Structures are given as structure tokens and as C-alpha cells.
Amino acid sequence: MDLSGTRIDPSLLRRLGVEPGVATLLQFSTAFCAPCRAVRRVSGEVAALVPGVRHVEVDAESHLDEVRELDVRRTPTLFVLDAEGRVVKRATGVPTKPHLIAALAEILPAT
């Protein structure tokens, strides 16, 4: 299921800890997933580097209803969300820092 351009229900985002009005890197992980740690590191670095971006990591096993609703089939899965909660990009595996920054550049105002 391709969610690109889809606005995720605000109540679902609240359950996951995503705040409105901020570009978000929403990561679904599991406890023993080595690539998840790499995504956490890269996403955290990008969030620290790019103003207005927040990284939220969610334990997929603790949020099975949301995982099903968003069609998360493996971990790590990373959603790049704009401030309205729309899916701009979705990636499985470990994205590179330049790819994340490029995805965010599409939705953040130029400074």
C-alpha cells in the first residue's frame, strides 16, 4: 500500500507521539533489529542538523494496531511526514543522511 501524499489520522499520530506542526521522521523499530539502531542514529543526526525536524521512534510490537493501519511489514520502516501529517516518503531499511535531508528539503521552507 502506497501512502505517499496521504494525511495520517491525527489521533493515530498522537498515539504514536507525533506532534502537529513539525516535520517528523517517524521510525518503526523492534527490540532486536540491528538496522533499526542505524536508522535511529541517522535520523537523530538529521533531526539535530535540520531545524524544525523531529525524530520519533516507535516500538512496532507495542503498537500493533497502528502498524497494521499504516501497513508496516518490516522493521525498520521510516516515514517522512510533513507538518500536516502527510506521508512525503516511506523507506524500509537504512536510508542515507543525504536521502533524508533531500526528502525533508521538499517540505521545509527555505532558509
H/E segment holding residue 14: helix 10-16
Q: For the stretch 20-48, what's the b/e string if a residue is b when 16 or more beta carbons lie within 10 angstroms of its beta carbon?
A: eeebbbbbbbeeebeebeebbebbeebbe
Q: What is the pLDDT of residues 2-15, one digit of tens each?
A: 677 889 999 999 99
Domain-located, residue 3: no
Domain-located, residue 51: yes
Domain-located, residue 99: yes
Domain-located, residue 73: yes
Domain-located, residue 48: yes
Closest CA to 67 of 11, 10, 16: 16
**Residue 40: which domain range?**
10-105
CATH number of the domain where residue 53 is located: 3.40.30.10
Q: What is the pLDDT of residues 10-59, one digit of tens each?
A: 999 999 999 887 899 999 999 999 999 999 999 999 999 999 999 999 99
